[in-house]
A and B are shown apart, each in its own frame.
Chain A
Amino acid sequence: MRDAGITEQHKDILAELANIGTGNAATALSQMLDHEKILLEVPEVNISPLQHVPESLGDPGQKIAAIMMEAACDELELTILLALPLPATLSLIDQLLPEGLEPLGEMGRSLLMELGNILTGSYLNALSDMTGLTFTLSPPGLGLDMAGALLGSVIADKAMLEDSFILIKTTMHILSREVEGNLLLLPSAGSLHKILARLGAQ
C-alpha cells in the first residue's frame, strides 16, 4: 500500500481500532493465565517501506515465535501476526502446557497456534463489532525463527507486491513475568480504505 491518502485522522482511527482489538485479545489472554494483569502500549501505526518491514519487531536477528493468520471479508484481507519473543513464548508454554510435555514439541507448537487463534479471534470479534463486518479466519501457521526471516516470509508467502506497508502494532506486557508480545496487522492493498470508509472516515 502506498502512503498516499493515509492522513493523521486515519492513523488515529486505526490506532483506536487496534487498541480495542488488542484490548479484547489481552482480556482473552488474561483469562487463559488465571487473570494475570496485562498492560497494553499505545498502538503504533506506521507506514513502512518494504525494506524496513523485517525490522518492525525490533532486531531482525532475534528468535521469536510468530503465529500468522489471515482474516478476510469479501475482498478485504488482513494478515495478522502474533509475535512472541522467545522469553514470552517459553513463559506462556510453561504455564499453559501440562507438565511432562516438551515445551517446543508437537503439543507446545500446537498450543502456540491455538494461542494465535484465540487472540486473533478476539481481536476480530472487536473489529467486527465496530465495523459491522464479519471476518473469516484462516487456520494458523507457526514459525519459530529470526524475526526478520519470518516477516520477510510473510511478505513473500502472501506475494505482497506493495513497496510500502501500513503496520499496526500493539505491544502487550504480561507484568508479573516481565515478558511482552506483539500483535501486528498488515492490511492488504485497498483493504485499509474500505475499513476506514466503514468507520466513516473522510
Chain B
Amino acid sequence: METTYVYIADLAVSQNEGLLVTIGLGSCVGVALYDAKRKIAGLVHILLNDSKQYLRDRSNQFNPAKFADTAIPELIKAMEERGASRGALVAHLAGGSQLFDYKFDGVGIGQKNIEAARAKLKELGIAILSEDTGGDYGRTMKINAGSGEVIISSLSREKKLTFINPRGVGSD
C-alpha cells in the first residue's frame, strides 16, 4: 500500500489503495475528507484557526493549508481535481489538544482550531462523521483511501479508535 505522509501545514489526496498519514497532531487539527463512491481521500494538517487574523504577516508566501478557514476549501479543491464530488464528502476530525501544561488564561489554540474546522465544515455542508479532539495528548491520524477507514492513535492510549464510513452516508 502506498503511504503518503502529510506534514504540518500540508495536505495530500489519495485514491483507491493509498494511505494518508499525519504524525503528531497536538494543538494542530487534522481534517480527513472522504468520497466513498470514488474512493478518494484527502487529509490536511492545520496549524492555526483563522487566516484573516494572521494576514498582517506578509513576509511569507501564503500557504492556505496552514489555516482552518482556507485549508478545508483548498483540500476540497485538490480532491475535486482528482474527480471527487463535493456533495459526496464526509469529514473526520482529530487533534486540537493542549499538550503543554502551563498556566494561562483564555481558550487555547487547539480549541480554537477545532471550532474553526467545525465551523468551516458546517458552512460547506459537510457532515462530520467522527471526531477525536481535545484533551492533553497528541494523536496520529490515518485514512485509508480504499476503505475510508480512519485510525487515530496516541502514546497515552493504547487503544486505537477506528471509524468506518457507514454505507450511504454522504454518497450521492
Binding site for B on A (CB under 8 A): 2, 50-54, 60-61, 63, 66, 68, 109, 139-143, 145-157, 159, 161-163, 189
Interface 9-mer from B52-60, B70-78, B119-127, B144-152? B52-60
Binding site for A on B (CB under 8 A): 7-10, 23-28, 45, 47-48, 54, 57, 59-61, 63, 66, 99-103, 108-110, 113, 137-140, 154-156
Given contacts A145-B156, A149-B138, A152-B8, contact A54 B23 (CB under 8 A): yes
Verify B140–A51 contact, CB threshold 8 A: no
> Using Cβ atoms and an 8 Å threshold, which residues of chain A touch B60?
2, 161-163
Verify B102–A142 contact, CB threshold 8 A: yes
Verify B8–A50 contact, CB threshold 8 A: yes
Verify A54–B7 contact, CB threshold 8 A: yes
Main SS class of interface, B: loop
> Using Cβ atoms and an 8 Å threshold, which residues of chain B touch A155?
8, 47
Our pick among B26, B102, B155 for the contact of A152 (Cβ within 8 Å) is B26
> Using Cβ atoms and an 8 Å threshold, which residues of chain A touch B66?
161
Our pick among B9, B24, B57, B102 for the contact of A50 (Cβ within 8 Å) is B9
> Using Cβ atoms and an 8 Å threshold, which residues of chain B touch A159?
48, 54, 109
Verify B109–A157 contact, CB threshold 8 A: yes
> Using Cβ atoms and an 8 Å threshold, which residues of chain B touch A161?
48, 54, 57, 60, 66
Verify A148–B100 contact, CB threshold 8 A: no
Verify B101–A141 contact, CB threshold 8 A: yes
Query: Measured between alpha carbons, how far is A146 from B39 in the docked complex, in Å?
Result: 31
Query: Measured between alpha carbons, how far is A151 from B28 in the docked complex, in Å?
Result: 10
Verify B138–A146 contact, CB threshold 8 A: yes
